[in-house]
């Protein structure tokens, strides 16, 4: 065995050869599996952990039409069960490297897979504040998605932490719902677009600049956040019911980079309306492809990617560049 | 009362003034209602018939993730009930005319509504063959969507009627699933793209040109289709389990035309990735906006349209042209 991936690849067992391999078993990957398999494609879903993606961290989902109120974990178990009727989900199977050629070759910790097409549904992760209390209170007052969880905080006192477009949009969203919102930002100026800044002013949303979160008060539910003004050094605890963290979203696009896919400056994969990427026979769906980071968008992306993949594999003129 | 819409409008009762009015209560409209209302927008859904859209005509849905097997009617009742938690659905309220101005004005048979923004989720309808047996056997062997219903016909004998891209894609899809497929086309040549025609040849799919459907044999399920060769005049009944009709889709885009929205040659409304149309404060989602005509696409479109609408209404620089 050499230390070079390519040479060692050749000696590894081929664990499977498929029409299409779907990477990731969140809502996008599961939907892709249902649609690809129903279209008659041989496919498999490779998931580095367990199915469900980020949704499983949500205590309650209220905006996936058809499920008025469902814990994220339960919804994703239901969706995974649905997908398993059609497609095998290999859990704990992380794709470590990918290479394009006559066929695509994927290397995992267990071995090697080959396929004619790939659907990337690798998701993204929320950038964290990294302060005490944050992890323990996630789902109990700490949220990374105003669109998802805002509704639970109607009439309550919340802070939004961040200064970009997402943070200001989230603040406006929460105000619109009827929350009492304060924006906490570590710098003296916002990065967000001018119109969002003006709108925040017009809505008279209180803003604390030069301020960082130091700790989220732990308990049954969030009751407060400890803040430090970095220019004055003053520390105080502000009583709040909710902390919306909006300091960035990190797409899991390492494999996309290996494949040379076009991405936006934030690392989200560029897709067209059919969820094709810039490389033939590679598709992307769900959070890694940007757009609104909602379950509805993920299931659509997965389905559309699978149908595009079917069309391309059937097209005798469509070839790898 | 004059016969002129505008003059008579002024004398009609204003039945409601909203931030956004959603037209149509299929999956796109219902999802838009959930998202718009959760964002704090005052909204209402106006539906000319009953909620559910085309989905309610599907006996069984298997590809909306989370519902492994559900009758179309049941799924849409569940979705409408979900939406009603957030938004009022006015049934039997057909929008007959719409006019842009300081605000949008919508005229229905009951009166007049005003709003700052509109989400069009008016859907589309399948062009029918117009032959005996077609209506009675819909859902019992006659289908207008191979992606939706193909899976039920695995290993069975089916025909696809039509000669365009949809018809040939459907035929390839059904072959991929494992159906025995014959294509029936009334002309001597296909309209479909070359690659689809070549693919049909390569898959050796039997084709009957110059042939029209005359009747679908009625019974508990479809057992045959009566065909006439229009050049020879020969009539014969072909035994089949399924008839996939793919002779065109007609978007319900009359209101879009009144608003001057950009549409494609088929009359489907042009939208960007955020489901904005070419006219500020007008959004479109679901079948009327083209794309894959699937429930997953509709719920995504509705949600994204509602969030875009929220952002635009919050944007102090965004104004009607």
ipTM: 0.92
- Predicted pLDDT of residue B319: 74
B17 is catalytic: no
Residue B309 lies in a domain: yes
Q: A296 and B292: CB-CB below 8 Å? A: no
- Whether B3 is covered by a domain: the verdict is no
Report the sign of the C-alpha dihedral through residues B7, B8, B12, B17, in that order: negative
For B297, the closest chain A residue by CA position comes to A300
- What is the Cα–Cα distance from A239 to A153, expressed in whole angstroms? 14
Domain that holds residue B207: 128-245
Looking at the domain assignment, is residue B2 inside a domain? no
Distance in angstroms (rounded) separating the CA atoms of residues B33 and B307 = 11
- A287 contacts A57 by C-beta, under 8 angstroms: no
Residue A269 lies in a domain: yes
Confidence class of residue B287 from pLDDT cuts 50, 70 and 90?
very high
My answer on whether B100 and B145 are in the same domain is: no
The 8-class DSSP code of residue A152 comes to: G
- What total of structural domains would you count in chain A? 2
Chain B hits for A301, CB-CB cut-off 8 Å, are: 300
Is the separation of the CB atoms in B288 and B124 below 8 Å?
yes
Residue A79 lies in a domain: yes
Q: How does pLDDT run across A35-84, given as a tens digit for each residue?
A: 999 999 999 999 999 999 999 988 899 999 999 999 999 999 999 999 99
Distance from CA of B2 to the nearest CA of A (A): 41
Name chain B contacts of A311, Cβ cutoff 8 Å: 169
**Are residues B99 and B157 located together in one domain of the fold?**
no
Q: What pLDDT score does A318 carry?
A: 84
Alpha helices in chain B (DSSP H): 5-11, 27-38, 72-84, 146-149, 165-177, 194-202, 254-258, 295-314
- Residues A102-158 have pLDDT tens digits of 999 999 989 999 999 999 999 999 999 999 999 999 999 999 999 999 999 999 999
Q: What is residue A124's three-state secondary structure?
A: strand
* CA distances in angstroms from A234 to A143, A227, B167, listed in the order given: 26, 8, 69
Query: Is a pLDDT exceeding 60 seen at residue A10?
Result: no
Q: What is the distance in angstroms between the Cα of A170 and the nearest Cα belonging to chain B?
A: 10
By C-alpha distance, which of B283, B312, B316, B272 is closest to B21?
B283
pLDDT at A11: 59
Q: How much is the pLDDT for A25?
A: 98
The answer to whether the CB atoms of B291 and A304 lie below 8 A apart is: yes
A253 and A116 inside one domain: yes
Same structural domain, B71 and B101: yes
Which chain B residues are Cβ-neighbours of A66 within 8 angstroms? Answer: 64, 66-67, 75, 78-79, 82
* Closest Cα in chain B, distance from residue A41 (Å): 7
Q: Of B148, B170, B309, B312, which one is the catalytic site residue? A: B148
CA distance to partner chain B, nearest, from residue A221 (Å): 22
Do residues B40 and B104 share a domain?
Answer: yes
Q: For residue B64, what are its two tokens?
A: 């909306």
Per mean pLDDT, which range of A1-5, A48-52, A296-300, B257-261 is the poorest?
A1-5
Q: Tell me if A179 is assigned to some domain.
A: yes
Q: Pick the residue from chain B with its C-alpha nearest to A66.
A: B79
Classify residue A7: in a domain, yes or no: no
* pLDDT, tens only, A179-225: 999 999 999 999 999 999 999 999 999 999 999 999 999 999 999 99
A314 to chain B nearest CA, in Å?
Answer: 7
Note whether B90 and B238 are same-domain residues: no
Q: Domain of B202: which CATH number?
A: 3.50.50.60
Question: Cβ of A66 and B79 within 8 Å?
Answer: yes
Confidence of residue B320 (pLDDT cuts 50, 70, 90): low
> Do residues A27 and A116 share a domain?
yes
Residue in chain B closest to A202 (alpha carbons) equals: B316
Q: How many residues are there in chain A?
A: 321
Spatial neighbors of A101 by CB under 8 A, at least 6 apart, are none
Catalytic residues of A: 145, 148-149
Give me the residue from B147, B199, B299 closest to A315, CB to CB.
B199
Q: Write down the residue that tokens 């932490």 correspond to.
A: A161
Domain boundary residue, one of A229, A245, A261: A245
**B148 is annotated as an active-site residue:** yes
Whole-angstrom distance, CA of residue B226 vs CA of residue A164: 64
Closest CA to A87 of A39, A34, A24, A46: A34
Boundary (domain end) residue, out of A245, A263, A293: A245
A201, A216, A245 — which closes off a domain? A245
Q: Are residues B54 and B108 in the same domain?
A: yes
Do A145 and A119 belong together in one domain?
no
Is residue B240 located within the same domain as residue B156? yes
pLDDT digits (tens, 9 = 90+) for A275-319: 999 999 999 999 999 999 999 999 999 999 999 999 999 999 887
Report how far residue B267's alpha carbon sits from residue B252's, in angstroms, rounded to the nearest whole number: 8
- B117 in the same domain as B160: no
Q: What is the interface size between A and B, counted as CB pairs within 8 Å?
A: 157
Is there a domain that residue B7 lies in?
Answer: no
* Cβ neighbours of A300 in B, within 8 Å: 294, 296-297, 299-301
Per-residue pLDDT at B1: 37
Q: What is the value of pTM for the model shown?
A: 0.93
Please answer yes or no on whether A318 and B195 come within 8 Å at the CB atom.
yes
Q: Closest Cα partner for B46 from B2, B100, B108?
A: B108
Whether the pLDDT of residue B168 is over 60: the answer is: yes
Distance CA(B125)–CA(A246), nearest Å, equals 42
Same domain, A119 and A147: no
């Amino acid at each position: 065995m050499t230390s070079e991936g390519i040479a060692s690849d050749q000696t590894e067992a081929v664990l499977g050869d498929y029409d299409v391999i779907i990477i990731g078993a969140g809502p996008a990957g599961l939907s892709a599996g249902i649609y690809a398999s129903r279209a008659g494609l041989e496919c498999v879903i490779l998931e580095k952990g367990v199915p469900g993606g980020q949704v499983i961290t949500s205590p309650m989902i209220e905006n996936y039409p058809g499920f008025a109120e469902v814990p994220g974990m339960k919804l994703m178990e239901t969706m995974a069960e649905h997908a398993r009727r059609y497609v095998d989900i290999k859990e704990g199977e992380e794709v470590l490297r990918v290479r394009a050629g006559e066929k695509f070759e994927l290397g995992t910790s267990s071995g090697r897979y080959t396929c004619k097409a790939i659907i990337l549904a690798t998701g993204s992760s929320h950038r964290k504040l990294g302060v005490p209390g944050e992890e323990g209170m996630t789902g109990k007052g700490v949220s990374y998605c105003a669109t998802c969880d805002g509704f639970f905080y109607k009439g309550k006192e919340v802070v939004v932490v961040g200064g970009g477009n997402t943070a200001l949009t989230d603040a406006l969203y929460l105000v619109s719902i009827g929350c009492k919102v304060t924006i906490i930002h570590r710098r003296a100026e916002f990065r967000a677009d001018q119109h969002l800044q003006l709108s925040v002013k017009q809505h008279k949303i209180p803003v604390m600049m030069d301020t960082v979160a130091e700790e989220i008060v732990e308990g049954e539910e969030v009751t407060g956040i400890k803040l430090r003004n970095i220019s004055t050094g003053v520390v105080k605890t502000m009583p709040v019911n909710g902390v919306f963290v909006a300091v960035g979203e990190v797409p899991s696009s390492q494999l996309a980079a290996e494949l040379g896919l076009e991405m936006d400056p934030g690392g989200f994969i560029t897709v067209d309306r059919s969820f094709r990427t810039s490389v033939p026979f590679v598709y992307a769906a769900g959070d890694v492809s940007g757009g609104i980071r909602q379950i509805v968008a993920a299931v659509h992306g997965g389905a559309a990617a699978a149908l595009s993949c079917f069309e391309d594999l059937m097209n005798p003129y469509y070839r790898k560049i």
